[in-house]
A = this chain, B = another copy of it.
Amino acid sequence: MADQDDAGRAGAEFLWGLRERPVKQPRLALTVDRIATAAIEMADAEGIEGVSMQRVAASLDVTKMALYRHLTNKAELVAVMIEMAVGDPPDLSAIEGGWRPRIEHWAELMRGTWRRHPWLPTATVGDRAIGPREIGWTESALSAFDGTPLLGAEKIDAVFVLSGHIRNSQVAALSGTQPWTSDRRTRGDIGELMRRNHNQFPHILAALDDARNAPADNSWAFGLEQILRGLASLIDERATTKPLRRAK
């Protein structure tokens, strides 16, 4: 940072043991990748709202305006973060057993990724640029339905509802939304308030009571199961000439 005006002084200080190593440690170059990596690390740890240009820059020992040499604005940083965080989409072609194991595998992988980066649901709302890897996940999911009798639009809609369930499970996990399905602390608070007005919420309280001994948080698996059941029913209906008794 300063190595010219104190060139002479630096030598003296070094000789007299005032400094152990020459100042000029290489200082790796600033790149979009390094910036985004630092920002992702910050977002993973503190949430996306804690990520500001200033703080990212500081974590890289650089002024905030230096970032603008590599990114045109903050939206672009977020877009790059997303693209980097979602990672490369999986190849499902090796998975045997038809569409269901394939899409289940895909869903678990995607859920894992989103859980590793809990800020993704927040960052992916609103109008924004979408990168090729993100699209690649959709491509990957569509491939799971190869060989099914679903129409193109139906495959897309199926992937949509599945992605939505993943996003939504993550939204619920990091928030007070649907708190009774997530953590005990919040559940206690809201539960208390509901119990105080118990006559207003009889069904919720009855359901919670009934659920007391159920597995802690099954909403992810339950929702996934129902969506896949629905798809299975549609696919079967399409596949057989004489349709199954249609689900009422």
Are B100 and A201 closer than 8 Å at their CB atoms? no
How many interface residues does chain A have, given as a range? 35 or more
> In the complex this chain forms, how many copies of it are found?
2
Q: Is A153 an interface residue (CB 8 A)?
A: yes
Given contacts A190-B130, A236-B247, A247-B229, contact A219 B157 (CB under 8 A): yes
Which residue of chain B is the closest to A210 with respect to CB atoms? B152
Q: Which residues of B contact A12 (CB under 8 A)?
A: none
Tell me what chain A mostly uses at the interface: helix, strand, loop, or mixed: helix
Give the complex CA separation of A207 and B154 in angstroms: 9
Are B124 and A203 closer than 8 Å at their CB atoms? no
Q: Which residues of B contact A126 (CB under 8 A)?
A: 122, 174-175
Interface residues of A in 90-146 (CB under 8 A from B): 98, 100, 121-122, 124-130, 132, 135-136, 138-139, 142-143, 146
Q: A residues bordering B, Cβ < 8 Å?
A: 98, 100, 121-122, 124-130, 132, 135-136, 138-139, 142-143, 146, 151-158, 160-161, 163-165, 167-169, 171-172, 174-181, 186, 190, 193-194, 197, 200-204, 206-211, 214-215, 218-219, 222-223, 225-234, 236, 247-248
